[in-house]
Chain A
Amino acid sequence: MLRKEIINKEMGNQEITKKQENYDYLLFLGCLIPTSLPYMEIAARKSLEILNIKLKETNDFACCPDPVGIKAMDEITWLSLGARNLCVAQKIGLDILTLCNGCYETLKETSHILKEQKETLEKVNKILSSVNKEYKGNIIVKHIAEVLYKEVGTSKISSVVKKPLKNLKVSAFYGCHVVRPSEIMEFDDPENPKFLDELIEALGAESVPRMRKMLCCGAPLLGVNMELSLEMAKNNLDYIKASGADCIVTLCPFCQTQFDRNQAVIQRKFNLDYNLPALYYPELLCLALGVEPEKLGFNLHRVKVDPILEKIL
């Protein structure tokens, strides 16, 4: 049996989202957003607040951890650290909302593996007993974009837009792990997803097509292979520039780091000039919902966002 068939067979049982009376989700901040990219956090919080998604918070979460390095080095350690976070949600009694593609992949895949593979769950629980925890295998993990697209919905979002982002051409950058591996993430097509394009158009902006939409940003290689990492980001910037977009819209702090913080490095290295502002989708959403730009920390972006603000306000 092929993997797809095996997994499809195993995915039969319907899941029920857990809710506490006053909250919809437990917020999983991750590491990179709250420390390096707080402007992403403020936009996520403000947009969800306006759309009436209520978040509970906790200090008990630790790093997701990283689905690339930590997982490769030792899968059982990766699963155990991830499962510890799931246990925190289990105790509070809420499902998890993540702001990052990496946290999303780690926690969703951990939850998937521990549900499907009883032997692995036993192994992990043995390790978790050292911190007095036991995972029972029933926490659902969502990405902020998934909640916006599947729960709030594009028609509701369009209906509350106060400032339609007319004349703005946007390049949608999904990132790999929000949709892949597709039989686990089950969000959208792994090669040609549409949800972010639709979320952008719901704000009145135009999502412009480009070559190699799902080419990796290269961020996972930053610590181990800087050169290739920057080359991958550069290839993406080339395609985005050629598409005629005014800006990039991301869903992940790692893609955001490549396109915002590292854009200047790439420009210098390859002697090129892109000047492409990169925004996290919730930032764009906040602007369309009428949040004042001064409250969103745009000054923290490395690539100036002013031309975009002038265009839409």
Chain B
Amino acid sequence: MNDKVPDKLLKIDRSLAQKFIKTPGQNPYLCYQCNKCSCGCPAAHKMTLLPHQIMRAVQLGQMEMILDNDSIFYCSFCHTCLERCPQGIAVSEIISKLKGMVAKIKGMPSAYKDEFKMIAETGRTSPLTSAVRRRREQLGLPSLSETVGKGEAKKIIKKTEIISYIEK
């Protein structure tokens, strides 16, 4: 048993898994590759890196594999994988965090940028048009104010580090 371990295997990077390990239910090392998460995933047929493979990539610290394709952005966050994992791993939550990490490297999807901008501007994510006002009036619903939340959402967003990625 004096075979040398090939160099490539030595490049396991534990720092990626460490980003999750402290949150209850997000220890990537508990994954034993049973594939159950991928079997129940409604988006798996579109992914080139399936949920269980994403878990392996996290264990090995292969952020590049995750950055290389857009599989994580096919996840609809339905939590089926979280409910079914026999090891109690919140796969969906790990994928969600990965989306944030990737967005900070490759840029935020424009739909999410728009969401942040609308919340900052009006407090809401959907516009209050004159047609909306008219419809509400016809139904006898109370009128809505132009903005909600006293502009505080904007102050909060400006306080967190995400602001620099929204403006990019």
Instruction: Give the B-binding residues of A (Cβ under 8 A).
Output: 2-4, 6-7, 31-32, 34-36, 38-39, 41-42, 45, 57, 59-63, 65-77, 80-81, 84, 127-128, 130-131, 133, 176-177, 180-182, 190-191, 214-216, 218-221, 223-225, 228-229, 232, 235, 295, 297, 300
Contact = CB atoms under 8 A, between A and B. Distances in A.
B110 to A, nearest CB: 8
Contacts of B83: 180-182, 190-191
Given A72-B100, A74-B165, 6 more contacts: A63-B125, A66-B125, A72-B96, A74-B162, A75-B100, A84-B152
B135 A38 contact: yes
A74 B111 contact: no
A216 B149 contact: no
Contact of A70 (B76, B112, B142): B112
Contacts of A68: 76-77, 96
A297 B108 contact: no
Interface stretch (B6-14, B55-63, B126-134): B126-134
Interface residues of B, number: 62
Contacts of A190: 79, 83
B144 interface: yes
A62 B73 contact: no
Contacts of B149: 60-63, 84
Given A75-B97, A228-B43, A70 B80 contact: no
A62 B119 contact: yes
B78 interface: yes
B162 A130 contact: no
Nearest to B83: A190
User: Which of B73, B108, B160 has the most chain A CB atoms inside 10 A of its CB?
Assistant: B160
Contacts of A31: 124-126
Interface of B: 24-25, 42-43, 46, 73-74, 76-80, 82-83, 87-90, 92, 96-97, 99-100, 103, 108-109, 111-112, 114-116, 119, 123-129, 132, 135-136, 138-142, 144-145, 148-150, 152-153, 155-157, 159-162, 165
Nearest to B158: A130
Nearest to B30: A2
Contacts of A182: 83
Contact of A81 (B96, B99, B109, B156): B156
A214 B128 contact: no
A219 B103 CA distance: 20
A232 B76 contact: yes
A66 B115 contact: yes
B154 to A, nearest CB: 9
A73 B103 contact: yes
A232 B108 contact: no
8 contacts: A32-B126, A42-B141, A59-B148, A62-B153, A65-B125, A68-B77, A190-B79, A224-B111
